[in-house]
Structure 1
Amino acid sequence: MSRAYIFDLDGTLVNSLAGIAGSLNRALARYDLPLHGESAVRGFIGDGARMLAQRALPPGVSDGLLEKIVTAFAEDYGRTWADGTVAYPGIPELLDQLSKGASRLAVLSNKPHGFTTEIVEKIFPENTFTVVLGNREGLPHKPDPQGALEVCHALGVYPEDATLIGDSTMDLETAGNAGMKCIAVTWGYHDRERLLGAEHVVDSVEELAGLL
């Protein structure tokens, strides 16, 4: 058992695809750009809002228009995210069990820190997580290990005593860069074959609970 479990947010704890896709498409529609179905948007997620918008745009779009889409997406998502974001079935019960044990729990997300804390506070009971950290000014995105190491420091654990749990290759890279163990979940935004570098790959919350 690890002394700390550090969870990614989108695609791991919460299904936010509908909310992200809705806000992205409304931002694109504002500028008469092609829209995308949820299956396509699923493949755009994982590297922050700017990369999300960049992947959604046709080739050759100017940097100025890209920035307008990023701003429009962020404004819309800030207003509407709650309409398309829910905890995956079984996750609240798993967290409840883990919070009663000896291990400490944390969230580490590439989402802006304000969104990250707002989502966690709305969806999960108070005091479920000891640390919640999203992207903020001066903090590099995952897979840079700085955020993961900051979380370990705040939890009072060494990286080798922590396990990062996520749904993307970025989470695998973050764990490796930080010297942590990694568990990959397949219900999120990256397909199973992309996650085979993790110590464990799990296909259900029940399977994850058995490991933890």
Structure 2
Amino acid sequence: MAAANEDELFLLTDRQCSSILDWAAEQPRNGGVLQAFLASLALAALQPKEALALRARDMELADNGSGVLLIGPQEQKHRREASGDAGTIRRVPACTELVAILKEEITRRDLRPHDAIFVLDDGRALTAPVYRKIWQQARAAVLEAYEIDSPLGRNISALRDTCIAAWLTNGDQTAAHILAVAECAGMSAPRLAERFAQCLRKPMPDEIPWDRMKAAFRIPGPPSEPALAARRP
């Protein structure tokens, strides 16, 4: 079997994502934090390192169920905290389901603004080796046997990819929409279009502005000769 291209998409279904979040919540140890962490990837398309850097102050969670996550460049995080400079902040919308999960975790642990969101129940930080192990356990518990042996969800980044794909396919796919998705995902529009090309529909013939395309590519003819002035006798 040929090795899978790391850029090839193997997207989870909505049912599989929901089942994984439910499985995490049911764990007797660290269930709340694991569900919240995985939900931030599956519902807000965060990278794991971005999620781990979140603190309670980085979340704007309204009572009406709306919310925004404030994501800063990781390489600038410590410099920004030391200088007080806000830097470039990416605003990622949080859906009602994610807002409810995060609020529950903040309340459960009585978090203060500077507290990290994703910390294990025994006080240890949630690290990459821990969440990778948990991801493999969740994958084995939720997927079918033939899916476990496939590239489907092999990496935890499948949650982020599935979220980005849903944002793309559920929108009107105009240039403005694609740019908005790219901004929320923290990647360039060309990179987004390249990686998620299979999620972008091709325009129908009646949607193509043929008149404007013809005008744009029209080749101008040679300039007309100016009329000679009549000579005076």
TM-score (norm 1): 0.31
Larger radius of gyration: 2
Higher strand share: 1
